[in-house]
Structure 1
Amino acid sequence: MVKMAGSDSVPEEKFSLKEVLITFQSCLTDNQEIVTDSYVNGWRGLVRFMNSLGSIFSFISKDAVNKIQIMVTHRNGENGDKYETLQSMVKYELDNNLVDLQRRAEHPESGCRTLLRLHRALRWLELFLEKLRTSTEDSKTSVMCTDAYNDSLAQHHAWIIRKAATMAFCVLPGRAAFFQTMNVGSTEQVVAMLGEAMPFISKVYEITEELYKQHNLLELP
């Protein structure tokens, strides 16, 4: 079996919004299944985005790196072909009782549980990036990020993490700094590329959400 490229760690490369656009676009097969390798590679790009802004997002990016590595391990394992798409992963793990549906005990690193954590974080980034896209020059990134967090990840975090996160968001750089980090060009070019990228990220999120909903996996411990 061919191993996933860059399986040892998330490369410390500059973030590229165009790369993330292409990667999430390649996530979807013709029959609307989600390719695991592309999904993970898309997350590698999002981790670079968070890391480029310093330690502010480290509480999320470090966990994402851990989850990425777990997924890579599944793909590179003896049953890696069962993890080719998110749909095949869910079927394989449920059929073989590899998911802890009630409490985390025997399979704390199941693909289904691991992917759910990335899925929840993707929702936060999706909401935040969309707010950045539609914001004005004087919009406060701290408010946008906090609102996105409260509408997604916050409900899955303990109080102390929520408090630390909202405090960290208060020192976020301005909108211009975020756009510069995306390495696209002018503000207009960034907004245009975000306009291209967001529908693909949203589609991947929606398909994953529906897949997990169908199998009652959205609240895995």
Structure 2
Amino acid sequence: MGDERQNSTQSDDQADGQSNSSNCAQQEHFDIIQLSQHLNLCVRKKDNEVDLDEYICVFQQLYKFFIMLGSVFGFVGSDVKTKLEILQGYRTGENRTHYETVEKMLQFEKTTDFINKNKESSASRTLLRLHRALNFVSKFLGKVDEIKDSEGTAHVCKEAYTQTLSKFHPWLIQKGALLAMYALPTKKDLISRVCDGRIETSEVRRLLHEVIASTQRVYDYCETAYRDNDLLDLP
């Protein structure tokens, strides 16, 4: 009977992980409301740890945001989907209980030396790449919020990229990314794309403020977790 309960709990955990990420991925278009909701749920109230399922949902929405902007964001969005699939695999695998939160994941992979045994596809290394991209998104949206509607977003995107992701990209990718940014729209056009005729402009502007704050909060929690485990510089 005890084994049945344990198996039932494990099955429920696996189903929850699959259901959460599946529901997030079903929507075709970028939805800033959904993004805001998942960001707000990322840091769990019961233990202040970052929920990995919610983190995956956040990036499923951000991936749609990158797609919405076209090939210009290819330097950051090109392999996001692959990384999310890797993380989802860990969330539904036999060690899924160790991958409920970012903090548990890091501790498990560090104490078992899983990071060194699986240098290409460890969850810690995979999420670190997304973590760096989240920093870029946070900086970019923060800078967009500060400019006038009539201004282009290319120059603030370049600033955000130079401060964040460019530090981890080889020169050729940097050059290609900076050139691609010239195609970015004005702030007004960007907000219009996010609205997509479904959300009022005023609501998008309000949500943008929320997303900026909650993105930075999630980033800070993950940054602390990686620093505490001395894993910020994983190659």
Which TM bucket (shorter chain)?
Answer: over 0.9
Instruction: Give the AA of the match of 1:21.
Output: S
Instruction: Give the AA of the match of 1:134.
Output: E
Q: Where do residues 1-221 of structure 1 align in structure 2 (5 Å cutoff)?
A: 1-2=14-15, 3-5=17-19, 6=21, 10-11=25-26, 13-30=28-45, 31-100=47-116, 106-183=118-195, 184-186=199-201, 188-221=202-235
TM-score after normalising by structure 2: 0.87
| Structure of greater relative contact order (alpha carbons < 8 Å, 6+ residues apart) | 1
User: Separation in 2 of the partners of 1:172 and 1:11?
Assistant: 27
Pairwise CA RMSD: 1.8
Tell me which moved more, 200-209 or 50-59.
50-59
- Determine what percentage of the aligned residue pairs are the same residue: 30
User: Separation in 2 of the partners of 1:110 and 1:59?
Assistant: 22
User: Separation in 2 of the partners of 1:73 and 1:144?
Assistant: 35
Q: Where does structure 2 lack aligned partners over 5 or more consecutive residues? A: 1-13
The question of whether the paired residues in 2 share the 8 Å contact of 1:15 and 1:181 is answered with no
User: Separation in 1 of the partners of 2:51 and 2:111?
Assistant: 20
Give the drift of 1:190.
2.2
CA offsets, 1:16-43, max 9 Å, x none?
A: 1111000010111112100000000000
User: Separation in 2 of the partners of 1:19 and 1:155?
Assistant: 30
- More helix, by proportion: 2
TM-score after normalising by structure 1: 0.92
Q: How many residues are matched?
A: 216
Instruction: Give the AA of the match of 2:226.
Output: Y
Q: Where does structure 1 lack aligned partners over 5 or more consecutive residues? A: none
Tell me which moved more, 58-67 or 147-156.
58-67
The question of whether the paired residues in 2 share the 8 Å contact of 1:142 and 1:172 is answered with yes
The question of whether the paired residues in 2 share the 8 Å contact of 1:121 and 1:153 is answered with yes
SS in 2 for 1:29: coil
Runs of 4+ residues over 6 Å off in structure 1? none
User: Separation in 2 of the partners of 1:11 and 1:127?
Assistant: 28
SS in 2 for 1:182: helix
SS in 2 for 1:18: helix
